[in-house]
Structure 1
Amino acid sequence: MTAPVTVPQPAAETPVPSTRPRRSRSRASRDPFLDNAKFVLVVLVVVGHNWGPLIDEMRAVKAAWLVLYSFHVPAFVLLCGYFSRGFTGRPDQVRKLALTVLLPYLVFETIYTGLYTLLFDRPFAITPSQPTSVCWFLIALFVWRLTAPVWQAVRQPVAVAAAISLAAGTTAVGYELALPRVLQLLPWFVLGLQLRSEHFGFLRRPLVRCCSLVAVLAASAGAWWLAPRADPRLLSMSYDNDDLRLSVAQYLVVRLVLFVVAAALVASFFAWVPRHRAAYTRLGAATVYPYLLHGLVVQAAQAYGVHDLLGWGGLVGVALLSLAAAALAVGLSVTPVRRATCWLVDPRTVRLPRVQISRPSRELRT
């Protein structure tokens, strides 16, 4: 049994927690474009986490991993900001945020800690302030959304958030509450707060879509060239310049370049997301299920050497692994799985038995 791979896996949204759509909301009221984007992104999250253990073995896999991790987490964080535009900090909103994000975070922190103890013989010690595995995204979303009213009142919020992000990368910040990722990914959340539906519509223009193809090809070529020498930790947004052995000037230049690359790839992604309703659209309403659950499967497969086995198959093995990962994302999104696990992912759905206390008879009261 092997130890878990330490390659950073900044998964993301992922997912934008939307654990269970309310029955009172009709399907027509949901934007298929947003659900499509969420579903494709969570599939990419699962695929990327399965590529992680193999990026040091094959240059092509590492190049694809670099391209993927350049944009899919920023895209998810941007959608988090977009869905947080109406958050004003009302008590009912904070209560709902705690129930839909903070409570599942605590539940899955316990589950992942137990899994690591079982698979990797780690001491069972729950540390809610230091997120485990994919749980970092939930606590980050909790913090980001609480700050949404502040950013609505700040002038030039994206520029201010970008300055905070760069400063965080040149400062030794502890990992409590996933603070390095919270701060370094902050500009994408703030950008999402500023966006409107017409901005996504602009990306559908033919000229923009043509430019997006050029951007993807250029990013792919650059990733192939950088793959032998690139440090994957640069894309995890968890490390400062000292950890990466870069001077402050070098770090700032690299981060600015990554901002530009990520912006081009995020725009390219949204430019090609289908706007019509598809067979997978409804799965985009519950992306938190595959996001939180897939890590359990991936860690178990990693512990029992599944990735090492498929790695021997070369690119064919990677292709099979990618298909299996996509199938896993779909399988964890279907209704039977959601019904079986909703008590974990969305504890609000748990209905406690009603206890009826009979009133004492009049004779007893007298």
Structure 2
Amino acid sequence: MVGETSIESRGETFFLNLRFILIATVFASNAIEPLIGTMGGMHALYMWIFSFHMPLFVLVTGYFARKSLNGSAGRKILMQIGLQYVVFQTLYSLLDQTLFQVNGIHHSFFAPYLLLWFLASHAFWRLLMLGMSKWTPVGQMTFALLAGILVGYLQLDGVWFSISRTFVYLPFFVIGYHFSFAAFTRIYTKWIKITAAAASLLLFFILMNWGVKLPLGWLFGSFTYMQLDRQEWYAGLYRLAIYGLQFIAALAFLGWIPFRASRLTDWGRRTLYVFLLHGFIVRLAVVSGIYSYLGNAVGAAVLLTAAVSLTILLAQPVVKQWLHPLVEPSVGWMMTLQRAVLRRSL
């Protein structure tokens, strides 16, 4: 029993470390996006990050979801996700129309605003796992892969209800939910980790030289085959190939993640704050006009340094102390209302 607790504790430490490093890559990728059209190095870095960061982020989310999927804890998290979505969908949309004045955005609660797709999909992943609770892990994974491939054939804009990304990334949520850290540590020995990290670097250089041939839309997961201009009957094979790339990229990137507890572990407990707030910073940077001075190697280095530094800043306890009511609003009143409704219905 002690051994199981130790493995569970080490697994939580590892995934908290991973979660913080991933949110840093999310911030960095969003920060450099305005430069990828003019700087080949930034384009390669952007593609490299997208090859692993969302699949792994979904996997981490699935890993932590297994402790709070069912019962009142599961209902509470679903309510909080819903409330967060309403609050930040409203805030981002209002600022877009007033301060940021960004065009081409669907301002609708049925079309998650940019990064908020993750909240909508997280709720759906939890509901889907509840629906598949009586299936075997193999059955769940088979359904997830088939759904991820088949959703691309829908003749619609994949952004609505975050339907495309929900099913495209569902396999990684299932993997995370059933992830065995004990088995992972037996495989990822010191030399395997070093080899994996080296493979991750190699993938970056491959993408730098040949990645321009791969349309970015395939890595986003938000577009259907119709939107990607691939309407052949075998278009699903392209999605399967992307799954292969993402799986390899994710396994390789895990070689960089430390097993030991550190400041990264503590910061990893507050990545939600970085995730929901960093979009405001990136938007402000874009409208400020600062990117006109960053289109060179020095500017890109400054931008990446700022993104990592701000990730650390937003993960500090004081940010949670100040902004907790906004980022993690209380849903106690919703739980009370639910109980009252249930009592009346009985």
Q: TM-score, normalised by structure 2?
A: 0.85
1:95-110 aligned at under 5 Å gives the runs: 95-110=75-90
After TM superposition, the structure 1 stretch with the greater mean CA deviation from structure 2, 278-287 or 218-227, is 218-227
Q: 1:183 aligns with which of 167, 192, 206?
A: 167
Say which of 53, 64, 88 aligns to 1:72: 53
CA displacement at 1:69 relative to structure 2? 0.2
* CA shift in 2, pair 1:180/1:231, >3 Å: same
Structure 1 segments (4+ residues) deviating >4 Å: 122-126
Q: Of residues 132, 136, 147 in structure 2, which corresponds to 1:164?
A: 147
Per the alignment, residue 340 of structure 2 pairs with: none
Whether the aligned pair in 2 keeps the contact of 1:112 and 1:132 (CA below 8 Å) is yes
Aligned match of 2:328 = 346
What SS does structure 2 have at the residue aligned with 1:244?
coil
Structure 1 254/329 Cα, relative in aligned 2: closer, same or farther at 3 Å? Answer: same
Between structure 1 and structure 2, the one with the greater Rg is 1
Query: Do residues 328 (structure 1) and 313 (structure 2) align?
Result: no
The amino acid of 1:275's aligned partner reads: F
- C-alpha contact 1:81 1:191 (8 A) present in aligned 2: yes
| Structure 2 Cα separation of the partners of residues 205 and 151 of structure 1 | 33
How is 1:193-204 mapped onto 2 (pairs within 5 angstroms)? 193-204=177-188
Deviates more, 1:322-331 or 1:238-247: 238-247
Identity fraction in percent? 26
Q: Distance in 1 between matches of 2:214 and 2:64?
A: 33
Instruction: Report the secondary structure of 1:152's partner residue.
Output: coil
Tell me which moved more, 212-221 or 256-265: 212-221
> Cα deviations across residues 303-331 of structure 1 (Å, max 9, x unaligned)?
122223211xx122111100000111111
- Give the CA deviation at 1:37: 0.8
**SS of the counterpart of 2:183?**
helix
Any unmatched runs of 5+ in structure 1? 1-27, 352-366
Rounded Cα–Cα distance in structure 2 between residues aligned with 1:78 and 1:242: 27
CA offset at residue 249 of structure 1? Answer: 5.5
Residues 67, 220 of structure 1: 8 Å contact kept: yes
Structure 2 letter corresponding to 1:179: I
Map of 1:267 onto structure 2 = 251
Could you say which structure has the higher helix fraction? Answer: 2
Larger mean Cα displacement after TM superposition, 228-237 or 28-37: 28-37
Unpaired runs of at least 5, structure 2: 1-8, 334-346
Tell me the residue number matched to 1:360: none
Asked whether 1:256 is paired with 2:236, we answer: no
Instruction: Return the match for 2:99 from 116, 119, 128.
Output: 119
Structure 1 residues 133-172: Cα deviation after superposition (integer angstroms, max 9, x where no partner): 2111111101101222233322422122111101111222
Cα pair 2:84 2:327 within 8 Å, conserved: yes
Alignment partner, residue 338 of structure 2: none
For residues 291-306 of structure 1, what are the structure 2 equivalents within 5 Å? Answer: 291-306=275-290
The 3 A distance-change label for structure 1 pair 214 and 249 is farther
For 1:201 and 1:189, the matched residues in 2 are separated by: 20
Classify 1:309/1:261 alpha carbon distance in 2 versus 1 (closer, same or farther; 3 Å).
same
Aligned partner letter, 2:277: L
More displaced 10-residue stretch of structure 1: 70-79 or 253-262: 253-262
Q: CA deviation at 1:226?
A: 3.0
Output the amino acid matched with 1:221.
F
* C-alpha RMSD of matched pairs (Å): 2.4
